[in-house]
Chains A and B, each alone.
Chain A
Amino acid sequence: MLALWVRAMGIEIHDKLPKKVFGVAFTFSLIILILTLGMYWLTHTPNIVAVMAAAIVTFANPLAALFVWSEKLREKTAVYAALLVLIIIASIGVIIYEIHTLFSEQFMSRIVNSGYAVLGLLILLILGYVANQFVEKLTPSIYWRAGRFIGEDYINVVYVSAFAMIGPAIAFFGVASLDPYLGLLTLLLALMPIPSKIRNLRAYLRRKSIAEAIKGTINNWLLRIPPIKEAPEIKVYPSGPVAFAEFSVVTSELVREKLEALGESIRIPILDMIGTLVGLHAQLDTTEKITISAGLPVEDSAVVSKLTNKYMIVKIDLGDLKVVGAEEIIVEGEEESQILEGLVSKKIDILCMKDFDKKLVNYLDGWFIVPLKIDSTSIEDAQKEIVTRIEELIKKS
């Protein structure tokens, strides 16, 4: 879900998983759990208990995502950790209790109403499959990894139910002695999701370093974009396997017209690169209180109109519209693409030339660098001209 508010001097980006994903997940988990409880009361088979354990586990991942997705819960991830521990204990506990009951009752067949059992297990299987698919289909494609994460434990409900059907079915056909063994196996099968939940718990304990890694990725991406000089506030809220990110970015007034495109260039790559994000909130502001750099291609101390390896970088205070510094730099590379890459890495805001071919304009636009047409050939004249042009540019917007 994407919301874009354009404010007086900036934009705000809110993008996160749609609420209904959680609605669907928790609803199905609840229904499946209640169904298993009801069926256990009706049939008393250990196989149902196995599905019950798997059903309990299905709450874990949606909770992990919910606790970073929701603004209120973001600061309370410790509660999630506690709930996760409870889920793990409950799931294992239920299994152990049932195994104990199985053995203490001399390992005899205990199925009552096996017809209901098979029918019920079939319904549970279908519910598990539908829950998984529903969650995945409701997830926007950019969040596909998070969607898979939230819905992954329903697959266990499917497998355990399928396996669990063998027991009652065979007992139904009269081979009662096999049933307790199958029950035992099914219960053990239901333990399968536990290791991954324990991994999630360990990821929760490592959440600070996970958050740092995500911050690093976001920071690297943001700083690759020339108009973004620094990204001071990146907050990452992790719960272990998933996280939510929040940050604000300041750029120069020069890119004011392109703020929406810049927003997209931030939002989509970050969400696509970091599969564990369930959402992000970014603030993008422009300011005049910033020093920008204009690049002038030079050759033998004169301004030229082609891509060279030498550039005069003119630093200009955007607020005062004054030149505050100039330095000559070398950009390495023989190929056009190498020089362009080099210029981008120097983070210039403007490139000045007499004329630009279309491909160069598109490239500069793509990196949010302003192509500026200037006529001067000497460096002093060029500097003055640049300041004048920038003034016009800013006044216009």
Chain B
Amino acid sequence: MSKPLISVRNLKKYFPVRRFLFAKDYVKAVDGVTFDIYEGEMFGVVGESGCGKTTLGRTILLLIPPTEGEIYFRGENILEYDKERLIEFRRKAQIVFQDPYSSLDPRQTIFDIIIEGPRYHGMDVGDPEEFVVSLLRKVGLEEYHLYRYPHEFSGGQKQRIAIARALAMNPEFIVFDEPTSALDVSVQASILNMIKHLQREYNLTGMFISHDLAVVKFMSQRIGVMYVGKMVEIGGSEELFEEQLHPYTKALFSAIPIPNPRVTRAKKKLIVKGEPPSPIHLPKGCRFYPRCPYAMPICRTKEPDLIEVEKDRYVACWLYG
């Protein structure tokens, strides 16, 4: 098994909410998350709205400063990097956002958008036009798109441009934050295929964030499930879909409608009652407690740690010790 490219240890990101004067409450968007991403793999992160997966993606790239915890890149704690190494890290770790409409500067041509990063980092790209054109071709666009503006492209094409922009930096790690959620099914299919091919070609490591479990399974080798700021289960994609350990994961997976009527109608759906708790004042104990069919008194008392119960399978649940 390859080494971890990215290691996250007890990462926390709290957002302050002003109460009065200087008194604050905190929205615990990410509340102590620990996991590894191995070199060359795509690590999927799934969860429902408010679980913190988007905040996690941005915090790992230091787009948002973490509140607590450590982030290791190739064994080094990036929070201790000096300015130079930080810039270097920012080049090596890129992000593709969900919304293709706002992530591209409407006043710049495609050429400018893509060449901006390499120029800033002083990268040697040879002839800039040739460089950008070859990237455009890689993402399925054409040379004549070079000097057009973002508004002239469809949503799917904009995402291709965003991906080309990320690739221009010759990155080692890319975070994909719901890259296809706003796109139609067939456009999504072609972009997902493309990401897979590019990942192999460039030997990229990636983190794929999505609420669509079927898409995440298709894209990732390993998946982490988040619930209200914490990782509750981590495992290989196939294994996780075959058997879920954590009661939340079980409910989540059983709720996905499968595009196959015979299978999906035969599937038993575990309806989870209730709603997730407020991320400001979390009750003591496991945050899934009020909705968990297996809830025990200890679940109301102490939060379970994420432990390895089988090879490469982690669960945070008192049912597993």
Docked pose: A142 CA to B20 CA in angstroms: 22
Given A265-B300, A265-B301, A268-B301, A366-B284 contact (CB < 8 Å) = no
Complex: chain A residue closest to B293, CB-CB: A337
Docked pose: A224 CA to B268 CA in angstroms: 28
Complex: chain A residue closest to B283, CB-CB: A272
| Cβ 8 A contact of A359, one of B22, B270, B319 | B319
Interface assignment of B261: CB less than 8 Å from any CB of chain A: no
Q: Output the least CB separation between B273 and chain A (Å).
A: 12
Most buried by A among B293, B296, B320: B296
Docked pose: A332 CA to B6 CA in angstroms: 47
Q: Please, which residues of chain A bring their CB within 8 A of the CB of B301?
A: 264-265, 268-269
Most buried by A among B21, B285, B302: B21
**CB <8 Å contact, A132 and B293:** no
Interface assignment of A318: CB less than 8 Å from any CB of chain B: no
Complex: chain B residue closest to A226, CB-CB: B297
Docked pose: A132 CA to B299 CA in angstroms: 32
Q: Please, which residues of chain B bring their CB within 8 A of the CB of A340?
A: 294
Q: Please, which residues of chain B bring their CB within 8 A of the CB of A358?
A: 320-321
| Cβ 8 A contact of B300, one of A261, A268, A362 | A268
**CB <8 Å contact, A265 and B20:** no
Given A158-B20, A341-B293, A362-B319 contact (CB < 8 Å) = yes
Q: Please, which residues of chain B bring their CB within 8 A of the CB of A309?
A: none
Q: Output the least CB separation between A284 and chain B (Å).
A: 13
Interface assignment of B281: CB less than 8 Å from any CB of chain A: yes
Q: Output the least CB separation between A131 and chain B (Å).
A: 12
| Dominant secondary structure at the B interface | loop
Q: Output the least CB separation between A267 and chain B (Å).
A: 8
**CB <8 Å contact, A129 and B22:** yes
**CB <8 Å contact, B298 and A265:** yes
Q: Interface 1/0s, chain B 14-47, versus A by CB < 8 A?
A: 0000001111000000000000000000000000
Interface assignment of A343: CB less than 8 Å from any CB of chain B: no
Interface assignment of B247: CB less than 8 Å from any CB of chain A: yes
**CB <8 Å contact, A272 and B294:** no
Given A335-B270, A359-B319, A132-B23 contact (CB < 8 Å) = yes
Docked pose: A308 CA to B22 CA in angstroms: 58
**CB <8 Å contact, A367 and B296:** yes
Interface assignment of B318: CB less than 8 Å from any CB of chain A: yes
Given A272-B283, A358-B321, A362-B320, A265-B294 contact (CB < 8 Å) = no
Report the count of interface residues on A (CB-CB < 8 A).
29
Interface assignment of A338: CB less than 8 Å from any CB of chain B: yes
Q: Please, which residues of chain A bring their CB within 8 A of the CB of B23?
A: 129, 132-133, 136
**CB <8 Å contact, A366 and B283:** no
**CB <8 Å contact, B20 and A337:** no
Within A250-282, which residues are at the interface with B (CB < 8 Å)?
261, 264-266, 268-269, 272
Interface assignment of A372: CB less than 8 Å from any CB of chain B: no
Q: Please, which residues of chain B bring their CB within 8 A of the CB of A368?
A: 297
Q: Please, which residues of chain A bring their CB within 8 A of the CB of B22?
A: 129, 133
| Cβ 8 A contact of B293, one of A266, A338, A366 | A338
**CB <8 Å contact, B300 and A335:** no
Q: Interface 1/0s, chain A 271-315, versus B by CB < 8 A?
A: 010000000000000000000000000000000000000000000
**CB <8 Å contact, B319 and A269:** no
Docked pose: A272 CA to B289 CA in angstroms: 13
Q: Please, which residues of chain B bring their CB within 8 A of the CB of A224?
A: 297
**CB <8 Å contact, A337 and B247:** yes
**CB <8 Å contact, A269 and B270:** no
Q: Please, which residues of chain B bring their CB within 8 A of the CB of A87?
A: none
Q: Output the least CB separation between B183 and chain A (Å).
A: 37
**CB <8 Å contact, B296 and A366:** yes
Q: Interface 1/0s, chain A 46-86, versus B by CB < 8 A?
A: 00000000000000000000000000000000000000000
Q: Interface 1/0s, chain B 271-315, versus A by CB < 8 A?
A: 000000000010111000000011011111110000000000000
**CB <8 Å contact, A144 and B298:** no
Complex: chain A residue closest to B247, CB-CB: A337
Complex: chain B residue closest to A344, CB-CB: B296
Interface assignment of A155: CB less than 8 Å from any CB of chain B: yes
Interface assignment of A363: CB less than 8 Å from any CB of chain B: yes
**CB <8 Å contact, B270 and A155:** no
**CB <8 Å contact, A337 and B283:** no
Docked pose: A366 CA to B298 CA in angstroms: 6
**CB <8 Å contact, B284 and A363:** no
| Cβ 8 A contact of A363, one of B20, B268, B294 | B294
Docked pose: A136 CA to B319 CA in angstroms: 35
Q: Output the least CB separation between A36 and chain B (Å).
A: 20
Most buried by A among B23, B268, B294, B298: B298
Q: Please, which residues of chain B bring their CB within 8 A of the CB of A158?
A: 20-21
Docked pose: A337 CA to B321 CA in angstroms: 17
Q: Please, which residues of chain B bring their CB within 8 A of the CB of A144?
A: 281
Q: Given contact pairs A265-B300, A272-B284, A368-B297, enumerate 11 new A-B contacts (beta carbons under 8 Å).
A: A129-B23, A158-B21, A265-B301, A269-B284, A272-B285, A335-B293, A338-B293, A358-B320, A362-B318, A362-B321, A363-B319
B residues touching A (Cβ–Cβ < 8 Å)? 20-23, 247, 268, 270, 281, 283-285, 293-294, 296-302, 318-321
18 A-B pairs with CB atoms under 8 Å apart are A129-B22, A144-B281, A158-B20, A158-B21, A224-B297, A265-B300, A265-B301, A266-B297, A268-B302, A269-B300, A272-B283, A335-B293, A340-B294, A362-B320, A363-B319, A366-B296, A366-B298, A366-B318
Closest 7 CB pairs of A and B: A366-B296, A337-B293, A265-B297, A269-B300, A268-B301, A272-B284, A366-B298
